[in-house]
Each structure stands twice: as C-alpha cells, then as structure tokens.
Amino acid sequence: MTDYLNYAMKRLGQFALVVLIGINLAYVITHATPIDPVEQSISVATYFGDTAPEAIAAMRASLQELYGLRGGALTQYVAFWGRIIRGDFGPSLSAFPTPVSTLILRAMPWTVGLLATSTIIAWVLGNLLGGLAGYYRDNRVLKVFGITAMALHPVPYYIVALILLIVFGYLWPILPISGGAAMNVAHGWNWPFISSVLSHSILPALSLILIGLGGWFLGMRSLSSNIVTDDYVVYAEIAGVRRPRILFSYVMRNALAPQLTGLAMSLGGIFNGAVITEKVFGYPGMGTLLVDAVYAADYGLVLGVTTVSIIGVSLGVLIIDLLHPLIDPRVQVR
Amino acid sequence: MWRIFKDLLKHNGEFRAGALLISIVVAMAALSFISPYAPDVSYVVAPDVPPNASNWLGTTSRGQDVFWQLTFAIRNTLLFGLLVALLSRLVALMVGLLAGYCGGWVDRVLMSVNDTFNVIPLFPLLILFYFVLRDRMSTPLLAVLMASLGWAYDARLIRSIAMSLKSREFTATGIFSGMTAREILLEQHLPYIMPIVFSTALNNMNWSIGLQVTLAVLGFMDIETPTIGSMIYWANQHTAIVAGIWWWIAFPVALVVMTFVGLFLLAVSMNEYIDPRSRLAGMEGASQ
C-alpha cells in the first residue's frame, strides 16, 4: 500500500507540473505578445459606427480591469493565478453578461460525454480486434481490417469528419448532422430528449471512433504478435490451455499495460481532435465554444476554455495513471 | 543508402505503396513550377466549371483552376510539414540524447518537462496564439511554434535508445580514450539513432500537416497562402458542397489523404526495417 501511495504522490506531482507549465504558457502567450488584447477588443467593438471618446475610455478601463492588466508584472501574474484558482474568468464579451464559467460549465457535459464514450469504445474495440489479429495472424477478415485501419489511422480528424458530413448529410441524409439535440425537445431525463441526444452524437462519435480505432488496433496487433512467440505462450499452448484463455489472459493481458500508457499519452491529441469534430458537427461542447469565442474576439472565454481544457486533460491522464497499477502490478515497483 | 532503398522496394509491400503515393504527391508539387497561373490571382478562368478536357479538375468559384491551384497548395503544405519536422527533430534529438546519456537529475528534469508537453492539449494553445497574433500569424511562424510544441513524443523514443547505447561497450571505450560527451553523442550514438529520427520525422510531418489543415479550415492561420487547408477553407466559404461544386473539396481532400497514408506507410515500413525481429518474420513469410 505504501508503494501505491508513493506512486500516487509522484503522479500527483507530475499532474501539478503539467498544470503549472500549461497555465504559465497560456499566461506568457497572452501577455508577451506585441498585440494589446484591450485595444483589439475595442477595435472590434467600435468596428461599426462612431463611438464617443468617453465611452471608449470607460470601456478601456473596464477591459483592463477584466483582463487583469492593472499594476506591475508581478501583480498581474498573481491576479491571473487568483482568477484561475477561483475559476473566475469574468463575463463573456460575446454572450454578455453571462459569466465565462457558466458557459464552460454548460458546455462541459457535452464534451466529456462525447469524448469519454467514444474514447472508451475506440480503445476497447481496437484492442480487442488488434489482439485477435495478432493472435490469429492468418485470418483473412482481420487482415482486411488491418489494411483498412492502416489507411484510416493517419487521416486527421477534420478530414474524416468532413467526409462523414458529406456522406450522411448530403448523399444519404439519414442522421442529424448538426447540434447536440433537436431544438423542439425539452431538456430532461425523458426518452425523446435522450434519443435525440444519442442520434445527434452518432456522427461526431463515429468520426472520433474511426480515427482512434485504427491506432489502438495497429498497436495491439504488433504488441501481441510479438508476445505470441514468447516461450510462456508456446508452453501454454503445448500444455493444452484453451485458446481464448491464452488470448485473453496470456497475450492481451500483458500487452494491455503499454496500451494504457498510450491512452494516457494520447489524451491531449484526442481532445484536439474533439475540438474540431465538435465544430464540424455544431456540437454544443467546449470545442465549438472555443472556436466561436475566437471568431467573436472573446478573450476571457478563449483563455477560460484553454485553461479548463489543460486542467481537464491532465486530470484524465492522472486518473488513467492512478488506475494503471490495478492492471499492471509491476508499475508500483518502478 | 540507395541499396537499402532498392531492398525495401523489392521486399516491402508497404514501402512500395507508400513510395508510390508520395511520388505522385511530390510530382504534383513539382508541377507548380510550370503552372500557367500565379497562385494568388483569381478570376483567370471561368468560375464553377466541372472537370473537363482543358480544366482537368474543374475550376473554383473564385475563377481559379483547381488542378494548378492544388499544385501550389500541396507544395506549400509539404514544405510546411518538412520545416516543422526538421526543427522539432533538432529539439527532440538534443533532449533525447542528453537525457539518455546523462541520466540522473538531468534525465528526471528533462523527462518531466517532456511528459508535460506530451499531455498538454496543443490545439487550444495554438488557437490562443492565433487569437493574440491574428494577422501576424504567418506560416513560418506557425511552423516554429508547432516545432517547439511537438517534439516530446519522439524525444522519449530517442532517449530510450540512447539509454541502451550508453550501456554498450563502445561507449565505455570512447570514454576511456578521452572522447568528450559531445563527441560520443555526435560521432558514436547519432548514427544509430538516425533511422528512428527519419521514421519519426515522417510521422511528425503527418501530425503537423494535419494540425495545419485543421487550423486553416477554421481560418486560424494565414489563409491567403494556398495550402490544402486554405483551399478547403475557401471552398467552405463559398459553400461549395451545397452549391454542388464538389470538385473544389473532393480533390484537395483526396490529395491530402494520399499524402497522409503515403507518409504513414513509409514510416511503418521504416520501423519494420529498423526492427530486425519483424524483418526476420517478413523473410520467413517470403521463403514459404
């Protein structure tokens, strides 16, 4: 148990470091650039028509307050962290006066639900098929699947999402292509709403799964095809252990550990993909929020979504890392 | 080098397919030098013409020939990928070799930073960059930014090889004969690491081109320079799919998918070549 605590403390330290570096990067990006976000917001806001100079001055003062640009460098830095710890990113400019945190909280369940479901489906299915393909190397169907996975895996999320959109939106329109749920259904725990949410999530989830599946499949196939030739597997085969048992408890069980590490490592990339997938399908999650915030020049919202996504992804990695010793007891020793 | 290439071409189906796809893509990029139209002028041909004998891939709603526009786009896209891969290789090599060779606290510090960069979602950070830079976000600047964010995964790979090289006898011989750490790393370890650097560079190109297409499609970079992403961006701006101008979207997408699959197949076959175990398995398969 002390071993596990030791391990958990180390992981927590890494989590703190990731959040620290990530948020500092966000701070540096927003503060060390030649462009003044205040002046930029003002120029966007006064783009149409004349605005009285007094009004501009008042706006400048309140924007400086909002962005925490008052005082010296140290004061600004401390104020920046204070706001992040309090989770207060000020009111959103594009949805004034709704606070940024409210917008993020509203979008978060959509993103977390879509990401968690599609990642788990892709990981489980990819590993299962990959293990089978590594073990039954001469199976024709699995070979064809391998070639498909190889062709699909390197294609970026946007292209897959676009192709699905064209196929199911224009050529064969059977699925809803935009939004999180039908507009005319009341939100709540009732069947019409849930079924609407599910049918709207099919295309975004499918594009995330299609991309993810190939990577896990190829990884698991090469890992398990190496393990199959190991002495203990050959021994188990000679000893007459039943084949499904060899596949699941001897081969795949051992290949699962690196695949779990891989999942933790690629969580950031999966989130990147979800941002663009959400935008393509108009899914009301954090990705759409982020992209629309950039279009609307909403500084607080962009910074808020970036910060929350850095913390969220590192939290996901931390959870996987903490579960890791349960699957692979060797991890604790390291 | 040439012999390895011929060997791979002869024995490795994935390499053959990848090489074929990439040669088509590179040939397409090379054609940009004999293009009859400049890349940045519009309304030089009749707009919205479907593919025909004189405009092989049709024309856009901006009056540009899709085929010739595509040659410029793929050239810029490939150059972007190469630049990011080259720059990020430098960082990955430096971090990986140093961490693997020095070990101890250098290794621990470098790898903590490394893991951080592996975990942080880079896309929101790049969007944040665009948000503050706006029009000053040029393509070379984006390449530098992406290179300085996208080295971590490969640095860990290089470190693991450097660690195993460190325990080999020739490293000890080098130390005893008075070579400095820099000499050992550059003259003795680097040649062993080059193949893996090459194959990770191909994967890194895929990563950077994918991100660049994504950013351009959203309009979050310089969209006046023709790239595959900016072509799709303009097609979307003119609602090409709804208007039925399918060739404006379909051909850039097809070409960029060819690039991705080609680069990936090359990287996979390189990895197989590097790993003698799977090379042996391939030979067994050939002799059966």
Domain ranges of chain A: 107-297
The pLDDT value recorded for residue B57 is 84
Check CB contact under 8 Å for A279 and B218.
yes
Nearest residue of A to residue B18, measured between CA atoms = A151
Tokens of A153: 């895996």
Determine the average pLDDT of the residues in A232-236.
88
- Measure B119 CA to nearest chain A CA, in Å: 5
For residues B150 and B128, what is the distance between their CA atoms, to the nearest angstrom?
16
Cis bond before residue A244 (omega within 30° of 0): no
Architecture of domain A107-297 in this structure = Orthogonal Bundle (1.10)
Q: How many beta carbons lie within 10 A of that of residue B224, not counting itself?
A: 11
Q: Which among A313, A321, A265 has a CA at the least distance from the CA of A287?
A: A313
Q: Which among A74, A58, A70, A67 has a CA at the least distance from the CA of A100?
A: A67
Contacts of B242 in chain A (CB under 8 A): 170
Contacts of B217 in chain A (CB under 8 A): 158, 276
Check CB contact under 8 Å for B116 and A290.
no
pLDDT above 70 covers what percent of chain B?
Answer: 95
Tell me the sheet residues that pair with A99. Answer: A91
Nearest by CB: A18 against B119, B268, B278: B119
Above 50 in pLDDT, residue A334?
A: no
Nearest residue of B to residue A294, measured between CA atoms = B131
The pTM of the whole model exceeds 0.90:
no
- Containing B250, the helix (H) or strand (E) segment is helix B246-274
Delimit the domains of chain B by residue range.
84-288
Backbone angles phi, psi at A77, to 5 degrees: -65, -45
pLDDT in tens, B82-127: 999 999 999 999 999 889 888 889 988 898 888 888 888 888 888 8
Find out whether A194 and A214 touch, Cβ atoms under 8 Å: no
Nearest by CB: B263 against A154, A226, A290: A154
Residue A12 sits at the chain B interface (C-beta within 8 Å) = no
Going by pLDDT thresholds of 50, 70 and 90, the confidence category of residue B288 is very low
For residues B35 and B45, what is the distance between their CA atoms, to the nearest angstrom?
14
Above 70 in pLDDT, residue A331?
A: no
Above 80 in pLDDT, residue B197?
A: yes
Nearest residue of B to residue A290, measured between CA atoms = B124
Architecture of domain B84-288 in this structure = Orthogonal Bundle (1.10)
Find out whether A253 and A223 touch, Cβ atoms under 8 Å: no
pLDDT in tens, A121-175: 999 999 999 999 988 888 888 888 888 888 888 888 888 888 888 888 778 887 7
Q: Which among B208, B163, B198 has a CA at the least distance from the CA of B270?
A: B198
CA dist list (Å): A121 to A116, A125, A127, A164, B176: 9, 6, 10, 18, 54
Above 70 in pLDDT, residue B273?
A: yes
Question: Which residue type is seen at B112?
Answer: S
- Measure A255 CA to nearest chain B CA, in Å: 17
The pLDDT value recorded for residue B263 is 92
The pLDDT value recorded for residue A209 is 92
Lowest model confidence (mean pLDDT) among A46-60, A105-119, A191-205, A228-242: A46-60
Contacts of B14 in chain A (CB under 8 A): 150
Helices (H) then strands (E): counts for chain B: 14, 0
Nearest residue of B to residue A264, measured between CA atoms = B119
pLDDT in tens, A90-136: 777 777 678 888 899 989 999 999 999 999 999 999 999 999 998 88
Helix (H), strand (E), coil (C) string for A167-182:
HHHHHCCCCCCCCCCC
Listing DSSP states for B107-131 in one string gives HHHHHHHHHHHHHS-HHHHHHHHHH
Q: Which among B77, B76, B80, B45 has a CA at the least distance from the CA of B63?
A: B45
Q: Which among B268, B143, B115 has a CA at the least distance from the CA of B203?
A: B268
Nearest residue of A to residue B149, measured between CA atoms = A25
Q: Chain A window 39-98: which residues touch B at a Cβ cutoff of 8 Å?
A: 40
For residues A291 and A278, what is the distance between their CA atoms, to the nearest angstrom?
10
Find out whether B125 and A269 touch, Cβ atoms under 8 Å: no
- Measure B215 CA to nearest chain A CA, in Å: 9
- CB-based burial, B206-215: b 16+ in 10 Å, e otherwise: bbbbbbbbbb
Nearest by CB: B128 against A14, A302, A314: A302
Optimal mutation site among B123, B249, B251, interface A, most CBs of chain A within 10 A:
B123
- Measure B193 CA to nearest chain A CA, in Å: 22
Mean pLDDT of the residues in chain B: 85
- Measure B264 CA to nearest chain A CA, in Å: 6
For residues A47 and A197, what is the distance between their CA atoms, to the nearest angstrom?
38
Going by pLDDT thresholds of 50, 70 and 90, the confidence category of residue B187 is confident
User: Which ipTM value was assigned to this complex?
Assistant: 0.82
Assign residue A185 a region: left if phi > 0, alpha if psi is -120 to 50, beta otherwise? beta
Check CB contact under 8 Å for B119 and A159.
no
Going by pLDDT thresholds of 50, 70 and 90, the confidence category of residue B281 is low
